[in-house]
Amino acid sequence: MSDRDTTHDSASGSETVRGRGHEHVTAEHASTLEVTSDDWLTPAGDCIVAVEADRVPADFKDAFVTACRESTATITATFVAGDHKQTVTGHGHPDLTFESDRSMVLRTSEYVDDRTVMVGADTAAEGIDRALVRALASGAELRVTFEVE
């Protein structure tokens, strides 16, 4: 059994990642939204909403990855920090690899690389509720739950 088979929430098609905000979170990027396992963030990282992610795409279970590779798959990512919650919805793509061992990117475009976990997202960093962004800029803990249907 591979690590991908043992590091998931359940057989229901969901994966949860935990991280924390950072003082440089601005969430101003117009086409991407990112969570990274790095423990730092520069002001230039305007798509990053959390650092110190406890999991990366390479940790996601094989069944989840396979489901996300269906072009008809709907993928949702629910971001929760304290009392603040926002859901981003997009879709899968046959070229998704989930191979990144560093970060995960939700994209409004159809571009795919090893960090991409969703394409056609209905929200980029700039669309994240500003109260949620303020909480993350204050260092709030973040939980992101990805689900695929």
Give the chain's domains with CATH numbers.
15-148 (2.60.120.630)
SS3 readout for 28-94: CCCCEEEEECCCCCCCCCCCEEEECCCCCHHHCCHHHHHHHCCCCCEEEEEEEECCEEEEEEEECCC
pLDDT value for 34: 98
pLDDT value for 9: 44
Token code pair at residue 17: 């990642």
Question: pTM for this one?
Answer: 0.91
CA 2 vs CA 7, 8, 125: distances in Å: 9, 12, 33
- pLDDT, tens digit only, all 149 positions of the chain: 334 433 444 444 899 999 999 999 999 999 999 999 999 999 999 999 999 999 999 999 999 999 999 999 999 999 999 999 999 999 999 999 999 999 999 999 999 999 999 999 999 999 999 999 999 999 999 999 999 99
Using the 8-state DSSP alphabet, how is residue 113 labeled? -
pLDDT value for 13: 84
